[in-house]
Chains A and B, each alone.
Chain A
Amino acid sequence: MAMPQLSHSRRRFMTDTARMACGCAVAGLGLGYVASDARALPADALRPPGALPETDFLSACIRCGLCARDCPFDTLKLADLGEEGLATGTPYFTARKVPCEMCDDIPCVAACPTGALDPTLEDIDDARMGTAVLVDQENCLNFHGLRCDVCYRVCPSIDVAISLKASHDERSGHHAIFAPTVHADHCTGCGLCEKSCVLPEAAIKVLPVRLARGEAADHYRRGWEEKEANGAPLVEGLIDLPDRLPGPGTDNLAAPGGFEPAFKVPGGSQ
């Protein structure tokens, strides 16, 4: 009589355990999926100044919203449930809607209780919320030879983070193009330029740094910089050969310093 009883309770224990283990696994996988789904920020969502790199930020930000509350310009929003790519409740801003005004006292960072916004950020010019990129030269008015300049003029770090680079306008033949040129080392990603672009869709956009920037390999050296640091050519006894200059054909014999190529392309025009 005792045996079936025992095996019954044992079977029950085992099915209970198995059911619980499966339940935990399914719930865990589901939660893991939802939680890690939000790790790639959409390209137009920028984190507040001083935000830790995204993976660290998601472990640090408790989604309290204190940064958003203390932002005097209502720049920061909290992500609602299901907003694509944004972890629920985390703060972000969309430059084209409300950019960051780069407050001197950085109240958002001061308000953050967790360190998700790095408290060592003391100078707002050191913030890197993203990097502005002139994404559409074909529509930028300055690239048409006009002097719109708005993105350049609104930049809080004018002439440092963004400057106008003049070049010859080949279309008109006798004007200049003043190309808005971002210097990523100094751009905070505040988004004022993107906000102010006069086009219906901004030609300059702030992108997350990971999208905006390339990265040079560690071992790359720029010869001219090394030479200057060294004060002399790095390799002694180099012969300075005549430089090739641009011109029609493979080489420009007419220009000073041009020379006859040692090898001619078979069937080449010259």
Chain B
Amino acid sequence: MSVETHLPVGFEALEEKGWIGSRRFLLLRRASQLLFLALFLTGPLFDLWITKGTLAGSMTFDILPLTDPFVATQSVVAGHWPSATALLGALIVVAAYALLGGRSYCSWVCPVNPVTDAAHWMHRRLDLPKGWQPKRSTRLWLVAIALVVSLITGTIAWEAINPVTIVHRGLVFGLASAWIVAAAVFLFDLFVARRGWCGHLCPVGAFYGLIGKAALVRVSAANRDACDNCMDCYAVCPEKQVISPALKGAPGSSPIILAGDCTNCGGCIDVCAQDVFSFTHRFDERIVEPSPQSAPEQSAARKIHKECSQ
């Protein structure tokens, strides 16, 4: 039986841009995720207090309050109007992500993201079936359900099971459930649903996505005419549905990835050997004019491996 496969995802980028160049944003993201964890951990570990609290609510250097807006919203719906500190914290967070891209939270801050990324990496290595794929809008329904249940029970409902804060709180306060919940999410993404948690279910990410619907910082496929259809960006993107409108849009359409679901992870930038993508702001509609020399040979550029497994 002969199987036709692509070169491994990112192979061309690796050859063109080198090991670091082809995972620049991935490395930056991991550094950022570690940094955000470290801010909370220097206190309990070394008695150097930078940020206290958890991702649900924190206080940095005793002056900067931050509050998770989804938690705050549930609190309000459940019947409590938070004090000024928490409200201010929520406003700061909303303002920041409304500018930086709501789901930047997911790829640059959230401690569950490395877990689901690892599950996806493993999923690809093991070549598993994609499994249960609920609609992407399911997470918005979960946002609604969390709010309705908060209203009815008068509690901050999602916090009872929210893996994001449970993992973070567990890491920062040394509670065992962090590992159990992280393992559960990993196994779910690996065996039950590919990219299931972050891509389809997590209402926290969905809520940040809503905040970032009109975000300023966006990825642009400005150099889309150089695309040689290797499809690597679709393979790395955790929200692949966001790419086509920008990359494959009709001539004259915006090259900006406008969908709030885009996590600003920069994976597409890293993986593209043709440097189609770049970070910019949402009003930057410039498109790189194709130069005659660099125009891709569509079919030749799309390298195909022919493997005979038998």
Contacts and interface: CB of A to CB of B under 8 A. Distances in A.
Interface of A: 20, 23-24, 27-28, 31-32, 34-36, 38-39, 55-56, 58-66, 68-70, 78, 80-82, 87-89, 111-116, 119
A221 to B, nearest CB: 36
Given A35-B153, A114-B83, A66 B52 contact: yes
Contact of B156 (A27, A59, A113): A59
A56 B153 CA distance: 11
B122 to A, nearest CB: 24
A58 to B, nearest CB: 4
Given A31-B161, A60-B82, A88 B166 contact: yes
B138 to A, nearest CB: 8
Given A58-B156, A63-B156, 10 more contacts: A32-B149, A39-B153, A59-B80, A63-B56, A63-B165, A78-B169, A78-B173, A80-B176, A81-B166, A113-B82
Contacts of A38: 155, 160
Contacts of A114: 57, 75, 80, 82-83, 85-86
Is the contact region of chain B dominated by helix, strand, or loop, or is it mixed? helix
Interface string B140-172: 011011101110111111111110011001101
Contacts of A66: 52-53, 57-59
A66 to B, nearest CB: 5
B83 A113 contact: yes
Most A CB within 10 A of own CB, among B85, B138, B153, B175: B153
Contacts, number: 150
B221 interface: no
Contacts of A112: 83
Given A56-B80, A113-B82, A89 B159 contact: yes
Contacts of B298: none
Contacts of A55: 154
A31 B57 contact: no
Contacts of A60: 75, 80, 82
B169 A113 contact: no
A107 to B, nearest CB: 12
Interface string B59-95: 1000001011001100100111011011001000000
15 contacts: A24-B144, A27-B142, A31-B157, A31-B161, A32-B149, A35-B157, A56-B80, A59-B78, A59-B80, A60-B75, A62-B67, A63-B159, A64-B57, A81-B180, A112-B83
A20 B169 CA distance: 32
Interface in B234-278: none
B155 A24 contact: no
Contacts of B175: 78, 80-81
